[in-house]
Amino acid sequence: MSERAEQDTVAVKVENRIAWVSYNRPEKRNCMSPKLNRQMLRVLEELEFREDVGVLVLTGEGDAFSAGMDLKEYFRENEALGIGAIRKSQREAYSWWDRLRWYEKPTIGMINGWAFGGAYGPLHALDIVVASDDATFGLSEINWGILPGGGASKVAQELMPFRKAIYHAMMGENLTGKQAAEQGLVTESVPHDQLRDRVLEIAEVLLKKDPNALRATKWAMRRMSEMTFDNAMDYLIRAQEALNGMGGMAARKEATKQFLDDKTFKPGLGAFDA
């Protein structure tokens, strides 16, 4: 097929408050070109504050999640142009991964197939990640003579037990979705034909939670990884107090009333009626 226009490198569908965002270069196994990276940032920005979007799902069209960075358009063509072009294309990629990591709304990864190298950046940025049992994960960098840059080795080191991560990075052997779940790279894996239903189920639970509390919770979980225990305790007090100013106190009073007085819900078993 002829070259895809920049705006067609990402597909978006909003349905029942869920934004389904897909890498849309299946003919190139959804590898990340500069065009795709620029378009993905635009799409994320456009969806982030839309009233009709409560959860964002990232997946890939066809049989790949993403085959990592585009070896032609991201690496070879920019390297031919020099350091300015290299830095620009790195910033375009890293900026949408970073935006996704600190997204205002909950995000779910639906890993439907190949996930290599550069794809580990978005993988780590997503809050909850469900893989198909037979998806394929690989730090293939070692197979073509580079190290897993763009954060990929840091992602493996952060998410996986050290012995598994260093083996994964050095050996260039792939993991199935099932193995990736066992080793902490993704949240869980399910049979391929149940992937979408499971993601939908998670999204529907998230849509029932208080959005401000969800945002504060996901950001706290990320921020705390670099804090001492004392700093985390202090941060959490301040984050809850900030949340109170965003309607958190009223939500808490209402939930407490529904539990203690009305006896219409149990916080241990589900969300209150907002």
Q: Which residue ranges make up the site for ligand ACO (CB under 6 A)? A: 28-29, 31, 67-72, 114, 116-118, 140-141, 150
Could you tell me the smallest distance in angstroms from the CB atom of residue 135 to ligand ACO? 11
Nearer to ligand ACO, 2 or 228 (CB): 2
Nearer to ligand ACO, 131 or 243 (CB): 131
Could you tell me the smallest distance in angstroms from the CB atom of residue 237 to ligand ACO? 40
What angle (nearest 5°) sits at the alpha carbon of residue 248, between those of residues 247 and 250?
A: 70
Could you tell me the smallest distance in angstroms from the CB atom of residue 35 to ligand ACO? 13
Residue 117, SS3 per DSSP: helix
62, two tokens: 């066809």
Whose structure tokens read 């890293």? Answer: 94
Helices 83-101 and 34-48 meet at what angle, rounded to 10? 30
Nearer to ligand ACO, 72 or 257 (CB): 72
- The kind and range of the H/E element at 136 are strand 136-138
Could you tell me the smallest distance in angstroms from the CB atom of residue 80 to ligand ACO? 15
Strand partners, 74: none
Nearer to ligand ACO, 71 or 207 (CB): 71
Could you tell me the smallest distance in angstroms from the CB atom of residue 271 to ligand ACO? 39
Task: Choose among 185, 188, 247: nearest CA to 215.
Answer: 247
Between CA 197 and CA 130 the distance in angstroms is: 11
Could you tell me the smallest distance in angstroms from the CB atom of residue 67 to ligand ACO? 4
Cβ atoms within 10 Å, residue 55: 26
6, two tokens: 């920049």
Task: Choose among 195, 112, 113, 126: nearest CA to 155.
Answer: 126
180, two tokens: 């990736």
Nearer to ligand ACO, 143 or 264 (CB): 143
Nearer to ligand ACO, 64 or 110 (CB): 64
* Side-chain half-sphere exposure of 123, counting CA atoms within 13 A: 37
Could you tell me the smallest distance in angstroms from the CB atom of residue 43 to ligand ACO? 20
Nearer to ligand ACO, 90 or 187 (CB): 90
